[in-house]
Structure 1
Amino acid sequence: MNDRWIEVADRVWVRRLEELDQSLGLVVGDESCLVLDTGVSADAGFAYATAIRELTDLPWQVAYTHDHFDHWFGTAAFGESAVWAVADGAHYVRFGDEQRRKWAAKYRLDGREQDARRIAASRLVPPNCRVQGAVGLDLGGRTVVLRQVGPAHSDNDMVVEVPDAGVLFAGDLLEQGAPPSYDSAFPIEWPQAVEYLLSWKPRIVVPGHGEPGDYWWARSQARDLAEVARLCAEVAQGFLTEDEAAEHGPFPPGTMRTAIARWKELTPPPPEPAPQPEPARTLPPPVVVYDFFDYSVDLTGN
């Protein structure tokens, strides 16, 4: 699959990438545009920025759906601009450095030396605009809503709603064509977050990876996420074993085991039973000793 544009609504595009089957976003207003996520490296970001300039020459702002490397390592290509995210810049820099080392090493082990160098050389651009709750962003004749969600797929998820077009950019809260990633997720809270997002019934839902879908596709995946949460609860109750939950879940066994392991990591162990006080020691009842007297009773009255 070559990188390509899909226009899902009026002046709302999805950039489908071959790398990681990723879906980036672009929303264009009359005065500016919003770029949703920027790709896996600075080189990928430059290619994306060039493709955007084929559609519009308006000034841009950038939004990060969350802090995983494939969604923001390409931002250096966009120069000086507002960058919106839920987590703060210090978190992005710290976590970004960890991810850069990890993924460069992984690509080298996979024999992808050039990709490893691209990630290692990417300049990290932390966000400079914080989203807490919801922010309405005026692009000129069109307002988009940046909404904090979760915890769900991560502890700093953000989605972008385009109400006038009926489009929801869901980030990695939803994925098409591959199971969702539970490595740093919150399995119990995740389905609740998605249900909340779908309450306004968007017409088009764009996942972080895979092809855009409709509302009913998103509803189906929300049910699968809820089933994972239910199976985790049944494992906790001892009704199912971990093997049973993994084999009979809505996603492949490997994904299910990751979800269960993550749930166990987040669930504190049951408290140790409080020590029971020793029963109070009671003294035995006193022993009453009666003196024995030999009485001779004269019944004659003498």
Structure 2
Amino acid sequence: MSNRWIEVAPRVWVRRLEELDQTLGLVIGDDSCLVIDTGINAEAGYEFATAIREKTDLPWQVVYTHDHFDHWFGTSAFGESAIWAVADGAHYVGFGDEQRKAWAARYRRDGREEDARRIARTKLVPPNCRVNGAVGLNLGGRTVVLRQVGLAHSDNDLVIEVPDAGVLFAGDLLENGAPPSYDGAFPYEWPQAVEYLLSWKPQVVVPGHGDPADYWWARAQARDLAEMARLCSEVAQGFLTEAEALAHNPFGEATMKSALKRCKELTPPPPEPAPQASAPASAATLPQPVIVYDIFDYNVDLTGR
């Protein structure tokens, strides 16, 4: 598969990438456009920015669907612009630096030295506009909604709704062609978040990885996420064994293991046992009661007189 554009609605485009089977987005208005995620490194971001300029010369804004590196490490290619996200800039820089080091090491272990160098020299560009709840952006003749999700795939997921086109950009809340990633996720809350986001029945749902699909595909995946949450809960309560959950789940053994592990990480430790009361002393060592007798001087007349 080569990098290519897919128009999912009038002036709403999806950019499909070979690397990580990633899906980026572009929404064009009359006055400006919105860039949805930017790719895995500066070079990838430059290629994406160049492809966008083949579609439009309007000024752009950028939005990050969440803080995983493959969704925002390409932003340096976009120059000065508004960058929207849920988490703040300090979080993005700190977590981004950790990911940059970890992925550079991973690429080197895999023998991908040039990819390691690309990600190591990528400049991190944190967001400068905060999304808290929902924000409507007027692109000129078209308003898009940036919506904070809550706990789901991460603790800072954000989706983009294009109501006039019936399109939902779901980020990594949904993936097409690969199982969802539970590393750092919130398995119990995740399906509830997706069900809520689908309540307006978008005609097209764009996942963070894989091809765009329709509302009914998204509903099916939401049900699978709910089944994963149910299995995790039943294992935690002792109704199922882990082996049973691994054998009977919608996404496969490796994903189920990851979800169960994550649930254990999120389970608070049991409370400290209350201190035991000291055992009562034996009767032989108890202090003896003090009995006080009141002595009355009285006579009882038994003669009845």
TM-score w.r.t. structure 1 length?
0.92
User: Is 1:120 aligned to 2:116, yes or no?
Assistant: no
Q: 2:12 maps to which residue?
A: 12
Task: For residue 269 of structure 1, report the CA deviation from its aligned partner.
Answer: 2.2
Range moving further from structure 2, 263-272 or 25-34: 263-272
Distance across 1 between alignment mates of 2:144 and 2:280: 69
The letter for the 2-side match of 1:163 is P
Distance across 1 between alignment mates of 2:56 and 2:120: 30
- In structure 1, list runs of 5 or more residues that go unmatched: 287-302
Distance across 2 between alignment mates of 1:248 and 1:7: 37
User: Is 1:246 aligned to 2:265, yes or no?
Assistant: no
Q: 2:98 maps to which residue?
A: 98
| Counterpart mapping for 1:45-56 below 5 A | 45-56=45-56
Distance across 1 between alignment mates of 2:155 and 2:4: 30
Q: Secondary structure at the match of 1:169?
A: strand
| Counterpart mapping for 1:114-263 below 5 A | 114-263=114-263
Distance across 1 between alignment mates of 2:186 and 2:53: 37
Distance across 2 between alignment mates of 1:268 and 1:200: 35
Q: 1:70 maps to which residue?
A: 70
The letter for the 2-side match of 1:223 is R
The letter for the 2-side match of 1:247 is A
String of CA shifts for 1:119-177, please: whole Å, max 9, x gaps: 01111100000000000000000000000002100010000000000000000000000
Q: Secondary structure at the match of 2:164?
A: helix
- Identity of paired residues, percent? 78
String of CA shifts for 1:25-51, please: whole Å, max 9, x gaps: 000000000000000000000000000
Task: For residue 281 of structure 1, report the CA deviation from its aligned partner.
Answer: 5.2
Q: 2:264 maps to which residue?
A: 264
The letter for the 2-side match of 1:37 is D
String of CA shifts for 1:188-227, please: whole Å, max 9, x gaps: 1101110110011111000000000100000000001111
Task: For residue 86 of structure 1, report the CA deviation from its aligned partner.
Answer: 0.3
Distance across 1 between alignment mates of 2:128 and 2:242: 42
Distance across 2 between alignment mates of 1:283 and 1:114: 82
The letter for the 1-side match of 2:130 is R
Distance across 1 between alignment mates of 2:270 and 2:240: 18
Q: CA RMSD in A?
A: 1.3
Q: Secondary structure at the match of 2:199?
A: helix
Task: For residue 242 of structure 1, report the CA deviation from its aligned partner.
Answer: 1.5
Task: For residue 279 of structure 1, report the CA deviation from its aligned partner.
Answer: 5.8
The letter for the 1-side match of 2:242 is E
Task: For residue 272 of structure 1, report the CA deviation from its aligned partner.
Answer: 3.4
The letter for the 2-side match of 1:167 is V
String of CA shifts for 1:249-268, please: whole Å, max 9, x gaps: 11110111001000100111
Distance across 2 between alignment mates of 1:209 and 1:223: 19
Q: Secondary structure at the match of 1:165?
A: coil
TM-score w.r.t. structure 2 length?
0.91
**Number of residue-to-residue matches in the alignment:** 286
Q: 1:294 maps to which residue?
A: none
Distance across 2 between alignment mates of 1:68 and 1:140: 30
Task: For residue 280 of structure 1, report the CA deviation from its aligned partner.
Answer: 4.9
